[in-house]
Amino acid sequence: MMDYQGLLFDLDGVIVDTAKYHYLAWKALSDELGIPFTRQDNERLKGVSRMASFDIILELGRRTMDEAEKEANCQKKNDLYVSYIKRLTENDLLPGVRAFLADARAKGYKIALGSASKNSPLILDRLGIAGLFDAMVDGTKVSRAKPDPEVFLRGAEELCLPAGACVVFEDAAAGVEAAHNAGMKAVGIGSPEILSQADIVLPGFADVRADDVLARLG
Ligand code: B16
Ligand code: MG
């Protein structure tokens, strides 16, 4: 078995379901702009940066805006989103996540976050798990979106590990692709249909331990 030493975690959809709050905030903004926006449309925004998400919404409404206006609208959306995530508590952690991270840490694995969200520090803090991470790579540190491998390569670098010694946990197909582009194995969290490219797929972290998952990766 390969000697895996680093575990890299996506945030939204792996550690916590923030997609529902992103949806509520984008929905409020698009209602105000008179742009139809549904939960199904919101699926297209998962793992996509804030500005790229707004570009998709503008495209749905066949609208254009100058950069300053786009910035102002993204700021407005983020203010509302932050008001929601400020209310997150440890109870919002997805099942089994804390036990999985704590056990992995105790076994000596290095742990990093690899997320597109600029709000990652606030979210990990509210969930009470910031102290379980050795490194945090978020939307403030990377400029290229998944499937570009930048976010995970930077994670490996911050853990001082070679890419091949790291394993990525992702809920999005683009994230799995980013892991493979980085030369890393990918564990999909969610449905096997969406994550068909992942090396293995788990429904979640309930009763799952890192050693068992990595043994299955070979
Ligand atoms: P923010 P992930 C992503 O998180 C979300 O899935 C995506 O919907 C969001 O637009 C993006 O973060 C940026 O978030 O506006 O907070 O900077 O899946 O990469 O952890
Ligand atoms: Mg995600």
Domains in the chain: boundaries: 6-17+90-217, 19-85
pLDDT confidence of residue 1 = 59
Q: Which fold has domain 6-17+90-217?
A: Rossmann fold (3.40.50)
* Whether residue 146 has its Cβ less than 6 Å from ligand 1: no
The token pair at 39 is 């939960």
Q: pLDDT of 13-41, one tens digit each?
A: 999 999 999 999 999 999 999 999 999 99
* Whether residue 47 has its Cβ less than 6 Å from ligand 1: yes
* Whether residue 189 has its Cβ less than 6 Å from ligand 1: no
DSSP bridge partners of 110? 6
Inter-residue contact 152 to 7 (CB < 8 Å): no
Binding residue numbers:
10-12, 26, 45-50, 53, 77, 115-119, 146, 170-171
Q: What are the contacts of 75-81 at 24+ separation with CB within 8 A?
A: 76/29, 77/25, 77/26, 77/28, 77/29, 77/50, 78/25, 78/50, 78/119, 80/24, 80/25, 80/28, 80/29, 81/21, 81/22, 81/25, 81/119
The token pair at 93 is 């952690």
Active site residue 211: no
Q: pLDDT of 128-162, one tens digit each?
A: 999 999 999 999 999 998 999 999 999 999 999 99
Binding residue numbers for substrate:
10-12, 26, 45-50, 53, 77, 115-119, 146
Evaluate if pTM is beyond 0.85. yes
Q: Using the mean position of ligand 2's atoms as its centre, give its distance from the Cα of residue 174 in Å.
A: 9
Mean pLDDT across 193-203: 95
Please give the CATH architecture assigned to the domain spanning 19-85: Orthogonal Bundle (1.10)
Q: pLDDT of 171-185, one tens digit each?
A: 999 999 999 999 999
Domains 6-17+90-217 and 19-85 share a fold: no
